[in-house]
Structure 1
Amino acid sequence: MHSLLVIHNGTTENDTETLSSRSPDVILRSCGYVVEVADTPEQALALISDADASILHLPITEINEWSTPLIQHKIAPMVWWCTSLTATLSVSACEDNIRVDGILSPFMHPQEIHWILHFSAKQCFERHQWLKEREQLLSRIEERKWIDMAKGILSKAKNISESEAYDLLRKQAMNERKRMVDVATSIVKVYQLLQDQT
């Protein structure tokens, strides 16, 4: 990890800590990182493509508001810069589904910062992989649902067993050079259309 994007908002960019030697950009540059700074969502979206991670110097309640568009532009770790200003909210704010991969503070040593960023990157990519696998599983479940409905319709309409209906579906998909779920979906939709008309 080499290049970081530090994101401030109107509240944090005028913070005395931000203007001092304890600001995230000053500290991260002193640790050897290339740092860009964004104060608006437009700036952040323009700079995110070159960044290896986003450092969110924001109140915890604003993290999701900023993280959603950033994730849509690039999969990269998002790390919360926790200070006395950004952490003044009650613990109940932490119960929200906050999308951060790690937490940094201005009082960490360079080695701690490097390790947090390293683990944050690992966490980010594992979470992204898990979300992709979850989407694939949900898609398979949805496909299975259409295939099972089509099997039920075919076995009832043709007076055959469900295994024979499955074979019929598979054969039809091969003949039409379509995916089995597409053939099953067509069968179910036609059946529902006919049922609605009667």
Structure 2
Amino acid sequence: MTSAESKWDARRAETTRRLRRCALELTRDQGLDGWTMDDLADAAEVSRRTVFNYFDSKVAVVLGPDHEIGPELRETFVAGGPTGSLVADIVQVAAALMQDETADIDLVQLGRSVVLGDPQLLGIVHQRFEAKMLESTELVLAREGEQYGAERAALLIRLIATIFDSALLRLDPDDPRSLADSLDEAVADAVAVLTD
């Protein structure tokens, strides 16, 4: 990657974060239906065209990308990797998908509170989650075999999602812990709770 490409990528990432932060703040203050993409452009100090170059809808900018597991990561997981432990591998896949999203802890926390405070967004997030549940359950069954059981696989994914949410809640902008450290701590606490 050239220096110019690196600068462009950094500028694109910063614009994306600024748009998301402004959209979240507008939603927090006015509700999802209380602002327009023109309002977002004004708040982020960019053109309307720039907004639409980055995001195609208000929901997309507020919630951010719907993360997809790439073919290489999918293949590694189904083959029993990257560590050989099902739970650890699910956690690693989730962390890899969310790595860019969790770089700005304040933005993560703002997004979480906005979604929880807006029934419309909560419904959309629930729909996204259910779709990811089905996809993740199928991946677990592809890896472990049908004998593992769809209900058991779905329960595992829901538990990991809860652990992941707990890890996100533990993150603090003033604490240098990484998402990986927070996830390790949340997994250890979950194991302790489930084995009491």
Fold shared per TM-score above 0.5 = no
TM-score, normalised to structure 1, is: 0.24
| Structure with greater strand share of residues | 1
Specify the structure having the higher radius of gyration (Cα): 1
TM-score, normalised to structure 2, is: 0.24
Instruction: For CA contacts below 8 A with separation 6 or more, give which structure has more relative contact order.
Output: 2
| Structure with greater helix share of residues | 2
